[in-house]
């Protein structure tokens, strides 16, 4: 039976990882203790890599130090951080779906909190977050942070979104979901894709992502995505225009709404969603992000590449 998923770290410098030592590898059936290979991975064989490394894992993601050079209030409990960071890590984060774990250097690793990369430049990353719990309160300008990364599973979908060229792409972003669309928009725009953004401020009362889109010429339609009128506007657009890819960034209810729209209008649309799972370790170890899919498999959403139709 064709496997529905693979690991986002397959073939990267972080493969193989500690999951292969415990026979929990996401992509390689041999490294889960099976006799047969059922992987659909066509890069370097993961089992071969594991054997060549003699089973020793020394390629863990490491902690970097970063410094908050600016903190701006956006609205409600929403803030923008500008963080000065080692540009070796910034280069690795310059990709769609990237995120990091952040904590203040005076706090224990219990405070590690995953945050999407909103934007970046040569020396800084920008993060928009809600100050709503013990992990995110009391983060202030001037603070030194411990930043662990890079992680790449911030957007879930089957193919490599960064390779899309000259496609028609619809992006639906609501509320804090705006934090995960800026990098995709900038990168996809440079590849000649025709992007239409349906933007809903949701509970944030802010359309902050628009302030960072200078030089990016895309059509933006403001909607209340959960209202009948908003849904009608979106449906009419999808019905009347060719759409190759739809990206939804927002709460699970937005993803479920998009799934229904895709399934009723055009099942061939390729779908990507912001990763809303509870992410604690990001390494497939703790199980916080575990989700049971229709065929009974339990997948770890922090590391798994899968069609979101299987999880919504």
Name the minimum Å distance from CB 91 to ligand FES.
24
Residue whose token pair is 């922090």: 302
Instruction: Give the residue nearest to ligand FES (CB).
Output: 302
Name the minimum Å distance from CB 24 to ligand FES.
10
- Nearest Cα to Cα of residue 117 among 107, 133, 129: 129
**Residues of span 288-307 touching ligand FES by CB under 6 A:** 288-289, 300, 302
Asked if 150 and 224 touch (Cβ cutoff 8 Å), the reply is no
CB nearer ligand FES, residue 207 or residue 281: 281
CB nearer ligand FES, residue 119 or residue 283: 283
Q: How many Å apart are CA 98 and CA 101, to the nearest integer? A: 11
Q: Could you tell me the CA-to-CA distances from 136 to 116, 126, 129, 227, 245 in Å, in that order?
A: 14, 15, 8, 31, 33
Name the minimum Å distance from CB 290 to ligand FES.
7
Name the minimum Å distance from CB 53 to ligand FES.
22
CB nearer ligand FES, residue 18 or residue 162: 18
- Alpha-carbon dihedral sign for residues 236, 237, 240, 246: negative
Residue whose token pair is 């590690």: 112
Name the minimum Å distance from CB 9 to ligand FES.
12
Name the minimum Å distance from CB 230 to ligand FES.
32
CB nearer ligand FES, residue 101 or residue 198: 101
Give ∠ CA 62-64-68 in degrees, rounded to 5.
150
In 3-state terms, what secondary structure has residue 168? strand
**Residues of span 266-285 touching ligand FES by CB under 6 A:** 279-282, 284-285
Asked if 185 and 218 touch (Cβ cutoff 8 Å), the reply is yes
CB nearer ligand FES, residue 234 or residue 311: 311
State the number of binding residues for ligand FES (CB under 6 A): 12
| Footprint of ligand FES (CB under 6 A) | 279-282, 284-289, 300, 302
């Amino acid at each position: 039976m064709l496997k529905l998923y693979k690991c986002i770290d397959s073939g990267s410098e972080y493969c193989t990882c500690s999951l292969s030592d415990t026979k929990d590898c996401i992509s390689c059936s041999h490294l889960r203790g099976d006799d047969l290979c059922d992987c659909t991975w066509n890069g370097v064989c993961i089992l071969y890599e594991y054997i060549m490394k003699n089973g020793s894992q020394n390629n863990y993601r490491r902690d970097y130090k970063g410094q908050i050079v600016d903190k701006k209030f956006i609205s409600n409990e929403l803030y923008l951080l500008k963080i000065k960071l080692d540009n070796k890590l910034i280069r690795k984060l310059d990709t769609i779906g990237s995120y990091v774990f952040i904590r203040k250097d005076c706090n224990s690793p219990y405070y590690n909190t995953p945050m999407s990369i909103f934007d970046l430049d040569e020396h800084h990353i920008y993060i928009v977050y809600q100050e709503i719990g013990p992990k995110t309160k009391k983060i202030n300008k001037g603070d030194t942070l411990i930043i662990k990364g890079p992680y790449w599973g911030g957007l879930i979908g089957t193919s490599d979104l960064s390779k899309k060229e000259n496609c028609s792409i619809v992006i639906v972003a609501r509320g804090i979901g705006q934090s995960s669309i800026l990098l995709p928009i900038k990168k996809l725009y440079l590849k000649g894709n025709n992007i239409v953004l349906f933007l809903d401020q949701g509970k944030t009362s802010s359309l902050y992502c628009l302030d960072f889109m200078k030089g990016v010429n895309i059509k933006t339609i403001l909607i209340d995505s959960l209202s009948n009128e908003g849904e009608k506007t979106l449906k009419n657009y999808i019905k009347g225009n060719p759409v190759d890819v739809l990206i939804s960034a927002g709460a699970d209810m937005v993803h479920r709404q998009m799934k229904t729209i895709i399934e009723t209008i055009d099942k061939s649309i390729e779908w990507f969603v912001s990763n809303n799972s509870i992410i604690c370790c990001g390494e497939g170890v703790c199980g916080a992000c575990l989700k049971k899919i229709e065929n009974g498999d339990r997948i770890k959403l922090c590391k798994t590449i899968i069609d979101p139709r299987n999880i919504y």
